[in-house]
Amino acid sequence: MSAENLYNQEAIDKLKKIVDETDIGMLGTYPKGSEYIHAVPMSRQEVDQEGNIWFLFSSESETYQHLQNTAKVSLLFSDVRNYSFLSINGTAEISQDTTQIEKYWNKMVEGWFDRGKEDPRIRVLKVVPNEAHYWDTKSNKLVTFFKVAARAVTGKNIETGEQGDLNL
Protein backbone atom coordinates (compact mmCIF):
# COMPACT_ATOMS: atom_id res chain seq x y z
CA MET A 1 0.00 0.00 0.00
CA SER A 2 1.50 3.30 -1.03
CA ALA A 3 1.54 6.37 1.19
CA GLU A 4 -0.18 9.49 -0.09
CA ASN A 5 -0.87 12.32 2.31
CA LEU A 6 -3.61 14.68 1.15
CA TYR A 7 -4.01 18.39 1.88
CA ASN A 8 -6.74 21.04 1.99
CA GLN A 9 -9.63 20.47 -0.45
CA GLU A 10 -8.27 17.12 -1.65
CA ALA A 11 -8.17 15.92 1.98
CA ILE A 12 -11.72 17.19 2.63
CA ASP A 13 -12.96 15.45 -0.54
CA LYS A 14 -11.40 12.11 0.52
CA LEU A 15 -12.84 12.41 4.03
CA LYS A 16 -16.28 13.27 2.64
CA LYS A 17 -16.19 10.40 0.13
CA ILE A 18 -15.36 7.75 2.74
CA VAL A 19 -17.82 9.08 5.35
CA ASP A 20 -20.65 9.43 2.81
CA GLU A 21 -20.11 5.92 1.46
CA THR A 22 -20.00 4.46 4.96
CA ASP A 23 -22.70 6.55 6.72
CA ILE A 24 -22.45 4.91 10.14
CA GLY A 25 -19.27 5.26 12.11
CA MET A 26 -18.19 4.58 15.65
CA LEU A 27 -18.02 7.75 17.74
CA GLY A 28 -15.64 7.48 20.64
CA THR A 29 -15.85 9.71 23.69
CA TYR A 30 -13.70 9.72 26.80
CA PRO A 31 -15.47 8.96 30.09
CA LYS A 32 -14.15 10.77 33.14
CA GLY A 33 -11.92 8.51 35.21
CA SER A 34 -11.80 5.69 32.65
CA GLU A 35 -8.76 4.37 30.84
CA TYR A 36 -10.88 3.28 27.88
CA ILE A 37 -12.76 4.99 25.11
CA HIS A 38 -16.55 4.65 25.00
CA ALA A 39 -17.76 4.04 21.43
CA VAL A 40 -21.26 4.06 19.97
CA PRO A 41 -22.51 3.77 16.38
CA MET A 42 -23.66 7.09 14.94
CA SER A 43 -25.19 7.95 11.58
CA ARG A 44 -23.74 11.15 10.17
CA GLN A 45 -26.06 13.83 8.88
CA GLU A 46 -23.54 15.72 6.75
CA VAL A 47 -19.89 16.38 6.02
CA ASP A 48 -19.78 20.11 5.33
CA GLN A 49 -17.49 22.13 3.04
CA GLU A 50 -14.82 22.47 5.76
CA GLY A 51 -14.80 18.72 6.52
CA ASN A 52 -16.79 19.01 9.77
CA ILE A 53 -19.06 16.04 10.46
CA TRP A 54 -22.56 16.67 11.83
CA PHE A 55 -24.84 14.44 13.93
CA LEU A 56 -28.04 14.70 15.94
CA PHE A 57 -28.08 13.01 19.34
CA SER A 58 -29.72 13.09 22.77
CA SER A 59 -28.78 15.06 25.85
CA GLU A 60 -29.73 11.93 27.83
CA SER A 61 -27.05 9.80 26.16
CA GLU A 62 -23.77 8.65 27.68
CA THR A 63 -22.05 10.39 24.78
CA TYR A 64 -23.51 13.72 25.86
CA GLN A 65 -22.45 13.11 29.46
CA HIS A 66 -18.87 12.29 28.41
CA LEU A 67 -18.70 15.43 26.26
CA GLN A 68 -19.46 17.52 29.34
CA ASN A 69 -16.01 16.47 30.67
CA THR A 70 -13.96 16.78 27.49
CA ALA A 71 -14.67 17.80 23.92
CA LYS A 72 -12.13 15.27 22.62
CA VAL A 73 -13.65 12.65 20.26
CA SER A 74 -12.54 9.92 17.89
CA LEU A 75 -14.46 8.67 14.87
CA LEU A 76 -13.86 5.43 13.00
CA PHE A 77 -15.47 4.60 9.65
CA SER A 78 -15.13 1.20 7.92
CA ASP A 79 -16.53 0.46 4.47
CA VAL A 80 -15.77 -3.23 4.09
CA ARG A 81 -17.44 -3.41 0.67
CA ASN A 82 -14.84 -1.05 -0.79
CA TYR A 83 -12.08 -1.70 1.74
CA SER A 84 -11.96 1.98 2.74
CA PHE A 85 -11.23 2.98 6.31
CA LEU A 86 -10.95 6.31 8.11
CA SER A 87 -9.76 7.30 11.58
CA ILE A 88 -10.47 10.82 12.84
CA ASN A 89 -9.53 12.57 16.07
CA GLY A 90 -11.22 15.86 16.68
CA THR A 91 -13.11 18.27 18.84
CA ALA A 92 -16.84 18.20 19.55
CA GLU A 93 -19.09 21.26 19.55
CA ILE A 94 -22.62 20.86 20.92
CA SER A 95 -25.59 23.13 20.30
CA GLN A 96 -29.37 23.21 20.17
CA ASP A 97 -29.40 25.17 16.91
CA THR A 98 -32.98 24.83 15.64
CA THR A 99 -31.90 25.64 12.08
CA GLN A 100 -29.51 22.67 12.11
CA ILE A 101 -32.11 20.41 13.75
CA GLU A 102 -34.60 21.33 11.01
CA LYS A 103 -31.98 20.77 8.32
CA TYR A 104 -30.98 17.31 9.57
CA TRP A 105 -34.38 16.04 10.71
CA ASN A 106 -35.44 12.83 8.95
CA LYS A 107 -37.47 9.66 9.54
CA MET A 108 -34.53 7.83 11.12
CA VAL A 109 -33.94 10.62 13.65
CA GLU A 110 -37.68 10.81 14.32
CA GLY A 111 -37.49 7.26 15.70
CA TRP A 112 -35.19 8.44 18.50
CA PHE A 113 -37.19 11.50 19.56
CA ASP A 114 -40.85 10.82 20.30
CA ARG A 115 -41.70 14.51 20.79
CA GLY A 116 -40.57 15.47 17.28
CA LYS A 117 -38.29 18.31 16.25
CA GLU A 118 -39.21 20.30 19.36
CA ASP A 119 -37.96 17.57 21.72
CA PRO A 120 -35.82 19.41 24.30
CA ARG A 121 -33.34 16.50 24.41
CA ILE A 122 -32.15 16.96 20.80
CA ARG A 123 -28.60 18.17 20.46
CA VAL A 124 -26.55 18.98 17.39
CA LEU A 125 -23.03 17.57 17.41
CA LYS A 126 -20.39 19.06 15.16
CA VAL A 127 -17.09 17.16 15.02
CA VAL A 128 -14.19 19.33 13.87
CA PRO A 129 -11.39 17.01 12.68
CA ASN A 130 -7.95 17.80 14.09
CA GLU A 131 -6.22 14.84 12.50
CA ALA A 132 -7.31 12.03 10.19
CA HIS A 133 -5.81 8.99 8.50
CA TYR A 134 -7.28 6.89 5.70
CA TRP A 135 -6.73 3.52 4.07
CA ASP A 136 -8.29 3.04 0.63
CA THR A 137 -7.79 0.11 -1.74
CA LYS A 138 -9.74 1.83 -4.54
CA SER A 139 -11.28 -1.56 -5.32
CA ASN A 140 -13.55 -4.06 -3.65
CA LYS A 141 -12.62 -6.78 -1.20
CA LEU A 142 -12.33 -9.55 -3.82
CA VAL A 143 -10.03 -7.57 -6.12
CA THR A 144 -7.87 -6.59 -3.15
CA PHE A 145 -7.65 -10.23 -2.07
CA PHE A 146 -6.43 -11.30 -5.52
CA LYS A 147 -3.88 -8.47 -5.64
CA VAL A 148 -2.48 -9.48 -2.26
CA ALA A 149 -2.41 -13.17 -3.29
CA ALA A 150 -0.68 -12.34 -6.60
CA ARG A 151 1.85 -10.23 -4.74
CA ALA A 152 2.57 -13.12 -2.36
CA VAL A 153 2.94 -15.68 -5.19
CA THR A 154 4.93 -13.58 -7.68
CA GLY A 155 6.91 -11.44 -5.26
CA LYS A 156 6.13 -8.46 -7.49
CA ASN A 157 5.12 -5.16 -5.98
CA ILE A 158 1.45 -5.04 -7.03
CA GLU A 159 -0.27 -1.86 -5.85
CA THR A 160 -3.07 -2.67 -3.40
CA GLY A 161 -4.18 0.87 -2.61
CA GLU A 162 -3.11 3.91 -0.66
CA GLN A 163 -3.07 5.26 2.86
CA GLY A 164 -2.11 8.55 4.35
CA ASP A 165 -2.86 11.51 6.53
CA LEU A 166 -5.66 13.93 5.71
CA ASN A 167 -4.47 17.46 6.46
CA LEU A 168 -7.63 19.54 6.45
Q: What is the pLDDT of residues 143-157, one digit of tens each?
A: 444 444 444 555 555
Domain 2-167 has CATH 3.40.50.620: no
What is the C-alpha separation between 76 and 87, in angstroms, rounded?
Answer: 5
What is the C-alpha separation between 165 and 133, in angstroms, rounded?
Answer: 4
Q: How far is residue 151 CA from its own chain's centroid?
A: 31
pTM above 0.85, yes or no: yes
**Quick one: which of 88, 71, 86, 57 has its CA closest to 29?**
71
Do the Cβ atoms of 144 and 161 come closer than 8 Å? Answer: yes
Q: What is the reported pLDDT for 74?
A: 98
Domain ranges within the chain, ordered by starting residue: 2-167
**Cα 17-44-24 angle, rounded to 5 deg:** 80
Q: What is the pLDDT of residues 71-97, one digit of tens each?
A: 999 999 999 888 899 999 999 999 999
